[in-house]
Structure 1
Amino acid sequence: MVFLLTLYLQEVRGYTPLQAGLAFAVLGAGTVLGGVIAPRVIGHLGGKRAIVAGLVAQGVSTVPLAFLGDASGWLVVLLVATFVGGVANLVVIVGFMVTATSGLPDAEQGLATGLATMSQQVGITLGTPVMSAIATAAGAATAGHILHGVTTALAVNAAICFATAVVIGLVLPRHRKAVAA
């Protein structure tokens, strides 16, 4: 999403790289807050529900971005949506790590953490080229059609958040049985 929003800010809104980068400070603040509140959210909802709630919140915060325009008022929408999305994303990440490692014997904690971290890195590695391909196919490679390509890819991003929330909600067991170490 950061790559797509960078295209939007620089190519559609005409921001310099520095201005676009500064706009992402709000996203960074959201991720910090998400990391702080994630343990409380997980403690209150449990790992599975925290992940699902975080994905839904991330999808909801991405939906308005799928309607970005070239008017200056959209900057406020972008800043609010990326802040909320940053909070939600960190709740999902922390919930994922806690869920992936909970109830395992001490000897398997490192392996579980490594596999969970690797899966995040694979997702990040695939996310940018997939979203870029969607944006390009929707017209971002054509002069004057960048906005349409970016907003199409953002809509797909939101749909992926919602679909993943449904899959996690249906497939992930609610509680993992504790295993004696």
Structure 2
Amino acid sequence: MRQAAMVRADVAALLFLGAFFGFQFIVTPYLQELRGWSSLQTALALLVMGCDAVLAPTLTPRLVSRYGNSRVVVGGFVLAILAYGLFLPVSADWSYAAMFPSLIIAGTAFALAYGPLTIAATESVAREEQGLAGGLLYTFTQFGSAVGISAVTAVYGIAAAGTDGSPGAVLDAYRTALLTGGHGGAGDLDRRRRPARFQACRTPIGPACRCARGPRRALPGTATPARGQPLDPACGGAARRPAA
């Protein structure tokens, strides 16, 4: 079960990163080749997607603490699909104000999904295996990025081949490629939730206590340890209940 949860998180990260970077890759030639924007103008236009650098350490931890990893990840995936959907009607004369909602929603989606996916991929394994789990996660994310960019590039090339090269035909090819990236916005998510205010139990479960997703509770007929006191030795005795 633990390995299954890790694999689900890894696969979800692969799909999400593939869609995210595929979206950015398609938006870039749209702005530069079709619209004739300079590299600087394109960079400034996409700068808003960097909002995740602000939201990830401020908003995301609060949401995870309140709603759990799974719900926040699902929210990120939904926002990503919404961002791609809003960009699909793109035209050759769209103003930046028309593009802005898609770009900022995509950046917000990354902030909500990526951090909780990292937690989900590593929290379900033993402490001594978390380095391996982290390395596996980053392998999946890098592979997903490469596959996502390759997929949208291939789809765009196939869709644009044989056309007259008119702006309308190029836009249709861009939309087809965006649909490919949007399909990566849905993945199998880890539905389990572990509140952040309680430490994960990494010790064997003994007959006198259990490891729960919530306050540590004693089984019937046993005493519940006070806050800050060691757990029953049957659970290893090493983990402590966090202070209030």
Q: TM-score range by the shorter chain?
A: 0.7 to 0.9
Q: Gapped runs of 5+ residues in structure 1?
A: none
Instruction: Find the counterpart in structure 2 of residue 17 from structure 1.
Output: 39
Instruction: Find the counterpart in structure 2 of residue 108 from structure 1.
Output: 129
1:117 to 114, 117, 138: 138
Q: CA deviation at 1:122?
A: 0.6
* RMSD after superposition: 2.0
Q: Gapped runs of 5+ residues in structure 2?
A: 1-22, 195-199, 205-244
- Equivalences, count: 173
Kindly indicate whether structure 1 or structure 2 has the higher relative contact order, using CA contacts under 8 Å at least 6 residues apart: 1
Alignment partners' CA distance in 1, 2:138 and 2:85: 27
Instruction: Find the counterpart in structure 2 of residue 174 from structure 1.
Output: 192
Instruction: Find the counterpart in structure 1 of residue 63 from structure 2.
Output: 41
Q: CA deviation at 1:159?
A: 3.0
Show the 5 A alignment for 1:44-63: 44-63=66-85
The percentage of counterpart residues that share the same residue type is 27
Instruction: Find the counterpart in structure 1 of residue 88 from structure 2.
Output: 66
**Contact persistence 2:127–2:202 (CA under 8 A):** no
**Contact persistence 2:83–2:106 (CA under 8 A):** yes
Q: CA deviation at 1:41?
A: 1.8
Q: Give yes or no for the alignment of 1:78 onto 2:109.
A: no
Go from structure 1 to structure 2 and tell me whether the alpha carbon gap of 1:35 and 1:122 turns closer, same or farther (over 3 Å shift): same
Q: TM-score, normalised by structure 1?
A: 0.86
Go from structure 1 to structure 2 and tell me whether the alpha carbon gap of 1:140 and 1:98 turns closer, same or farther (over 3 Å shift): farther
Alignment partners' CA distance in 1, 2:129 and 2:47: 37
Show the 5 A alignment for 1:92-171: 92-139=113-160, 142=163, 143-144=165-166, 145-161=169-185, 163-164=186-187, 167-168=188-189
**Structure 1 runs of 4+ with >4 Å offset:** none
Instruction: Find the counterpart in structure 1 of residue 207 from structure 2.
Output: none
Which is higher, the Rg of structure 1 or of structure 2? 2
**Contact persistence 1:34–1:86 (CA under 8 A):** no
Name the one with the larger helix percent.
Answer: 1
